[in-house]
């Protein structure tokens, strides 16, 4: 689906337009082949690069072709049908337009459109707003995961199989986030030179703030990743210790129950046995069994 948005400094709100004009922002979601051809023809794009945006596993990078900049990045993506935690987003910067292409609806872009405060004729500012929204979405995901991990950390003794599986999914999500943010930050640094995009002093400052925020995201993600690994390691140690204690307990019970079983088996044989003619034989044997069991229990209580 192709949607064109337009707003100048004089306009009060962002509006949807039907035609392509100078200063337009075109947002595309799940484009089909006909729509891709239309975009390539209308904006003079490199089709081979645009088609790469169809790949859900496309890596962040920056390319330039015929004075048009192609900025590939990834954003947080939550879909149970796909085994990925980030999805590709292509931002195309031309001389008179901004184009964004995604395979699914991008929540932070939808929010940006709904808010309606972007000025599409200020291309660089629009680009920075989109990238800031991307950074904010990663930050929100990080906050959500951090809260969940800290809850697990305070109840280590009660963590189960589902909790461990969730921690593993968090690890995957964090690794994907780091893999998306680091190369994105690399090409953002290229842009601050002003060779690939016209930047004013305010824009350079905002870009530098954006790179700092992304670097902090990477550091925070690595710290949280380390915390998750510590929690998982502690959980595995606790589960192993609990298993060892259970095995020790079962072993002790087996040995304890073996004594009365052996004695009972011996006195269950149909042969002459000591005390067989004694009327108090049962009580004597019971006392011996209890004494042996007590000694074994005392021994294991000191050992275990």
* Residue 297 confidence (pLDDT): 80
How do the domains of the chain map onto residue ranges? 2-240, 247-303
pLDDT tens, the chain, 304 aa long: 888 888 888 888 888 888 888 888 899 988 888 888 888 888 888 888 888 888 888 888 888 888 888 899 888 887 666 667 888 899 988 888 889 998 888 888 888 888 878 888 888 888 888 888 898 998 898 888 888 888 777 666 667 777 777 888 888 888 888 888 888 888 877 777 656 666 667 767 787 888 888 888 888 888 888 888 888 777 777 778 878 888 888 888 888 888 788 877 777 776 676 766 667 777 777 887 888 888 888 877 777 6
Its sign, for the CA torsion 176, 56, 210, 191, is: positive
Residues 246/248/250/251 CA torsion (nearest 10 deg): 160
- The fold adopted by the segment(s) 247-303 is Methane Monooxygenase Hydroxylase; Chain G, domain 1 (1.20.58)
Query: 71: helix, coil or strand?
Result: strand
- The fold adopted by the segment(s) 2-240 is Beta Polymerase; domain 2 (3.30.460)
CB 50 within 8 Å of CB 36: yes
CB 273 within 8 Å of CB 267: yes
How buried is residue 182: exposed, middle or buried, by Cβ count under 10 Å (0-12/13-18/19+)?
middle
CA distance 237 to 189: 43
Q: Which residue has the tokens 């920075």?
A: 128
pTM of the full predicted structure? Answer: 0.74
């Amino acid at each position: 689906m192709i949607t064109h948005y337009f707003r100048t400094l004089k306009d009060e709100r962002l509006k949807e337009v039907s035609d392509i004009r100078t200063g337009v922002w075109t947002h595309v979601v799940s484009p089909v082949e006909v729509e891709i051809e239309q975009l390539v023809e209308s904006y003079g794009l490199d089709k081979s690069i645009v088609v790469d945006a169809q790949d859900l596993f496309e890596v962040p990078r920056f390319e330039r072709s015929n004075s048009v900049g192609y900025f590939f990045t990834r954003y947080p993506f939550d879909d149970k049908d796909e085994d990925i935690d980030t999805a590709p987003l292509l931002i195309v910067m031309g001389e008179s337009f901004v184009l964004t292409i995604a395979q699914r609806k991008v929540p932070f872009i939808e929010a940006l459109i709904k808010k309606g405060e972007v000025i599409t004729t200020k291309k660089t500012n629009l680009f920075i707003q989109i990238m800031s929204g991307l950074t904010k979405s990663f930050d929100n995901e990080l906050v959500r995961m951090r809260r969940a991990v800290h809850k697990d950390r305070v109840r280590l003794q009660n963590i189960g199989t589902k909790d461990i599986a969730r921690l593993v999914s968090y690890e995957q999500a964090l690794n994907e986030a780091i893999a998306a943010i680091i190369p994105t930050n690399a090409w953002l640094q290229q842009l601050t030179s002003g060779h690939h995009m016209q930047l004013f002093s305010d824009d350079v400052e905002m870009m530098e703030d954006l790179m700092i925020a992304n670097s902090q995201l990477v550091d925070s993600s690595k710290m949280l990743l380390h915390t998750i690994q510590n929690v998982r390691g502690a959980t595995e140690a606790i589960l192993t210790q609990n298993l060892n204690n259970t095995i020790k307990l079962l072993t002790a019970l087996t040995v304890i129950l073996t004594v009365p079983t052996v004695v009972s088996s011996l006195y269950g044989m149909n042969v002459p046995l000591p005390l067989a003619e004694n009327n108090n034989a049962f009580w004597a044997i019971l006392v011996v069994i209890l004494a042996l069991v007590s000694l074994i229990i005392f021994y294991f209580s000191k050992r275990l």
